[in-house]
Amino acid sequence: MRKIALHWRILIGMLLGVLIGLIGAQFSWGPGLVSDWIKPFGQIFIKLLKLIAVPLVIVSLAKGVTDFKDLSALSKIGGRTIAFYLFTTVLAVVLGLFLVNFFAPGANVSEETLSALSADSTSMMTEKIAMKDEAGPKGPLNFFVELVPDNMFSAISNNSNMLQVIFVTIFFSISMLLLPNTVVEPLKKIIDATNAVMLKMVDLIMITAPYAVVALIAALIVETTNGELFIALSKYAILLLSGMVMLLGIYTLLVYLYTKKSPLFFLRGILPAQLTALSTSSSMATLPVTMRCVEENLGVEKEISSFVCPVGATINMDATSLMQAIAAVFVCQVMGHDLNLSDQLTIVLTATLASIGAAAAPSAGIIMLVIVLESVGFPSGKLAVALAMIMSVDRPLDMGRTVINISGDSCVSVLVAKSLGKLR
């Protein structure tokens, strides 16, 4: 009997999860049953993916860098990777601003709807604002200051410090490149062996993916109780989803124009990663699957994917940038806060930089939205209400954003590989 492909098993798991969630929601004991006895299996799956995220980034990135013959080869891939990522991020922000200004989804939201949206969530949003303010005021070069950790081991111990992990790994790997091969050869063998073990761990974890997706989707269905709030913000949600579909279309077009690979080839190749991203809502948790799809299905050589994908999962958040542009203007429309051309340009710059600093974790864009709103002078007293409004529909949209984020990483991996002759 022919084995069913992983992406089809994950898709079947999603459908079963929806069915179990809908059935469970019909009974008073259903949500408790799903939360206590089904959801934990999905949580374990996400924990397993996060468990290997940091070591996988370290060994994959170290192997990718040390496989280069010299620093000139590394500078080529690094420069092109950053250039492509900045291009797609700015494109996403500009697309979001065009859509939200043209369709103006927040122009006709009533005061009554606004009060209903904020009634249950304002305290939670106040906590999120406090999370952004914990670090205090930040200077223009603070991004580079925070890039360098005080302690290498403390950075490695926390998934949220992935930029610091990447910095330390690249610094370490470049130092290896500058030493004679006879000196670093034993260390290279250890890195190669560890990388093989990490990839085997990915294979073992992905065996459980279809069952984990059942648990995650079922839990999402029974925990979603604010249907009226979804209706109140349907215009915003539809506009954001439309923008994400447009971004996906842009990715497939870029791949086709640059590599002559068909859109179906690209979409079919990244489908397992997209389905995993849809269920985990985390680019970093999906990273092992993204790397495998890029290498095995899209033909990108490992030395490219091991550099481009970890960097992309950390700094390339195209859909998050799109969301911040649309959400920022949307809440300003609802609250009657006028934005001029200068404010719109500020959103382009701030959303781009904020997306680079966003953690590759569920709903990270909500916290980053505070930075974008404050950059255009949005009243601080209304921030909690504004974020409560966005958060009320953000959970399913966050799942879609993660799909687009990892699709953008895959697209750039293909473009960089093609530009360097590393695409099979």
Domains of the chain plus CATH, in order, are 6-419 (1.10.3860.10)
**Greatest mean pLDDT among 3-7, 110-114, 171-175:** 171-175
Q: What are phi and psi of 392, to 5 degrees?
A: -65, -25
Q: Is the dihedral of CA 171, 177, 181, 187 positive or negative?
A: positive
Instruction: For residues 313-338, give the mean pLDDT.
Output: 85
Query: Above 70 in pLDDT, residue 341?
Result: yes
Q: What pLDDT shows up at residue 335? A: 76
Please name which of 14, 80, 416, 38 lies closest in space to residue 254, comparing C-alpha atoms.
Answer: 416
Q: What pLDDT shows up at residue 391? A: 67
Q: Do residues 253 and 243 make contact, with C-beta atoms less than 8 angstroms apart?
A: no
Q: What pLDDT shows up at residue 249? A: 96
Residue 366's CB is within 10 A of a number of other CB atoms, namely 23
As a three-state string, the secondary structure of the chain is CCCCCHHHHHHHHHHHHHHHHHHHHCCCCHHHHHHHHCHHHHHHHHHHHHHHHHHHHHHHHHHHHHCCCCHHHHHHHHHHHHHHHHHHHHHHHHHHHHHHHHHCCCCCCCHHHHHHHHCCCHHHHHHHHHHHHCCCCCCCCHHHHHHCCCCHHHHHCCHHHHHHHHHHHHHHHHHHHCCCHHHHHHHHHHHHHHHHHHHHHHHHHHHCHHHHHHHHHHHHHHHCCCHHHHHHCHHHHHHHHHHHHHHHHHHHHHHHHHHCCCHHHHHHHHHHHHHHHHHHCCHHHHHHHHHHHHHHCCCECHHHHHHHHHHHHHHCCHHHHHHHHHHHHHHHHHHCCCCCHHHHHHHHHHHHHHHHHCCCCCCHHHHHHHHHHHHCCCCHHHHHHHHHHHHCCHHHHHHHHHHHHHHHHHHHHHHHHHHCCCEC
Q: Residue 340: is it exposed, middle or buried by C-beta count within 10 angstroms (0-12/13-18/19+)?
A: exposed
Query: Above 70 in pLDDT, residue 229?
Result: no
Q: What pLDDT shows up at residue 255? A: 95
Residue 341's CB is within 10 A of a number of other CB atoms, namely 7
Q: What pLDDT shows up at residue 54? A: 78
Q: What are phi and psi of 149, to 5 degrees?
A: -75, 155
C-alpha to C-alpha distance for 132 and 128, rounded to whole angstroms: 7
Higher pLDDT, 300 or 177: 300
Banded pLDDT at 134 (limits 50, 70, 90)? low
Q: What angle do CA 48, 53, 59 make, to 5 degrees?
A: 130
Residue 54's CB is within 10 A of a number of other CB atoms, namely 20
Question: Worst-scoring range by mean pLDDT, 186-190, 324-328, 354-358?
Answer: 354-358
Higher pLDDT, 199 or 17: 17
Banded pLDDT at 66 (limits 50, 70, 90)? confident
Q: Taking each helix axis from N to C terminus, what angle separates 302-315 and 71-103, rounded to the nearest 10 degrees?
A: 40
Query: Above 50 in pLDDT, residue 41?
Result: yes
Q: What pLDDT shows up at residue 388? A: 66
C-alpha to C-alpha distance for 242 and 254, rounded to whole angstroms: 18
Higher pLDDT, 15 or 5: 15
Higher pLDDT, 256 or 216: 256
Query: Above 50 in pLDDT, residue 121?
Result: no
Query: Above 50 in pLDDT, residue 1?
Result: no
Banded pLDDT at 70 (limits 50, 70, 90)? low
Query: Above 60 in pLDDT, residue 374?
Result: yes
Q: What pLDDT shows up at residue 298? A: 95
Q: What are phi and psi of 260, to 5 degrees?
A: 70, 15
C-alpha to C-alpha distance for 277 and 285, rounded to whole angstroms: 8
Instruction: For residues 44-60, give the mean pLDDT.
Output: 79
